[in-house]
Structure 1
Amino acid sequence: MPRPTARTIKAATAVSALASLVALAGPAEAASARPPLPSRTDTAFQNECLTAHNAYRARHGAPNLTTDQALVAYAKQRADQITRYDGLEGTRSQPASRQYGQNVHWYRSFTPGRTASCTAAVKSWYDGGRTYDFAHPGFSTRTGSFTQVVWKGTTKVGCAQATGQGPSVYETYVVCAYQAPGNVTGRYRENVLPRR
């Protein structure tokens, strides 16, 4: 199996990153796929995602993001892949594109119709930064979602939400894609700034 390039490390939740690595072992098998969860992505959802991202980025001196429709389409595609192949724990989801940064949030509920908001997803990614060491900047699976959210060089975002009845619980996935991707080795100090 070829090693991933050291130049760029994609941001995702620790579980998502592991799922992507496991997925490199082989192609998805159509026979094991489940129907994807329905997309609940609309303009209001995009605006919510943008507002949440920009509020956290402002704390770190990062410029506002703008919504990009190509990234929205990619995020929808990723949400479809993730929900089709057993969610974040599945081994058959295709790996994320190296062209974009990515964060994935999973929420479960035993109550049908109860979903996670984009605000809650972005907060969970940002809260991962509580353990980020600004004196020794770099990537870790615990803080990679945080660093992608506040990455100064990122200018565009597109998000998608898929929600519905999973195999045992009601599930919501929020996927956000970023351009330019964050978490570039050797570029943390100038892109992940301490809170003002």
Structure 2
Amino acid sequence: MDVQDSGDDSVEHDSCSSVDSVVSFESFFPSILRCGFLRDDLDCLSTVTLPPRPTVAQSSKTPPCYTSDSQFRNTIVAVTNKFRCEHNATALKWNRTLEVSSQNWARKCRWEHSTSGENLAMGYANVTATVQAWGDERRIFNFNKPRFTHETGHFSQLVWKGTKTMGCARFDCGKANPRDRDDDAAHGWYVVCQYFPPGNVVGVRSFEENVQPRVSGGVPRLKSGVFEWWALAIVLAGVLVGIEGVCYG
């Protein structure tokens, strides 16, 4: 897929009503300094190239972050970049071309991949839980022998260092029909995310270079292992005033 990044990569920072909006470091400091600051919204949170198998959950709840375009976009970018931050990958920018492509595929309600560099999920209670499910695959990812597997492919795409932009969409595919024997049909809230350049590229050292172990504490270190003093100062300031809230749903 020939994907061009749009000129406008800005993402608004609306928040759910139950999430506190506080001073943001979004525009001032690299994402690596914000790994530990995102908080769970008690009202929204639930407890889910080579394409990985799509992830499935069951939920009947419809939080505002599925129905609001801006909250959906803000949330999925924020949670994605939190995981990327924790694995030494730069923050992704929003790509409107990928957003349109993802929307076109989501509306088909087909439970299968349309292209490489794509993550799918359906049935999760909220957007946060969707990305969390992809990211939680890191628990079984073998960082000593990094490679593609269907069980960890969502995670490796999520944090792939070579990826620079993302675009996502969601569509309510409705309830499953007991008489429908089509295993390729999506049901409930169907989330499609596409990434460019795509990850999960099989090649010499590609996974070792692009899927890195979790950064301890989310704070950058010098090669000597000593914390950078300025990073610590920013982290302490962040603890005191927090960062801008996002909709965790």
TM-score above 0.5, yes or no: yes
| Structure 2 residue runs without a partner (length 5+) | 1-48, 56-65, 179-186, 216-249
Is the Cα contact below 8 Å between 1:40 and 1:160 reproduced in 2? no
Q: CA deviation at 1:166?
A: 2.5
Is the Cα contact below 8 Å between 1:41 and 1:162 reproduced in 2? no
**Residue 106 in 1 paired to residue 122 in 2?**
yes
Deviations 1:31-65 (A, max 9, x none): xxxxxxxx956122111110010001000000000
Q: What's the TM-score, normalizing by structure 1?
A: 0.69
Equivalent pairs counted in the alignment come to: 147
Distance (whole Å) between structure 1 residues aligned to residue 104 and residue 114 of structure 2 = 10
**Residue 96 in 1 paired to residue 87 in 2?**
no
**Residue 184 in 1 paired to residue 201 in 2?**
yes
**Residue 174 in 1 paired to residue 183 in 2?**
no
Q: Which protein shows a greater Rg?
A: 2
Q: What's the TM-score, normalizing by structure 2?
A: 0.55
**Whose helix proportion is higher, 1 or 2?**
1
Q: Which residue matches 1:21?
A: none
Equivalent pairs: percent with the same residue?
A: 33
Corresponding letter in the other structure for 1:182? G
Q: Which residue matches 2:50?
A: 10
Is the Cα contact below 8 Å between 2:54 and 2:119 reproduced in 1? no
Q: Which residue matches 1:76?
A: 103
Corresponding letter in the other structure for 1:189? E
**Residue 154 in 1 paired to residue 163 in 2?**
yes
Q: CA deviation at 1:172?
A: 1.0
Aligned-residue Cα RMSD (Å) equals: 2.1
Q: Which residue matches 2:154?
A: 145
Distance (whole Å) between structure 1 residues aligned to residue 210 and residue 121 of structure 2 = 23
Q: Which residue matches 1:3?
A: none
- Divergent runs of 4+, >3 A: 167-170
| Structure 1 residue runs without a partner (length 5+) | 1-8, 17-38, 108-114
Change (3 A) 1:41 1:173: farther
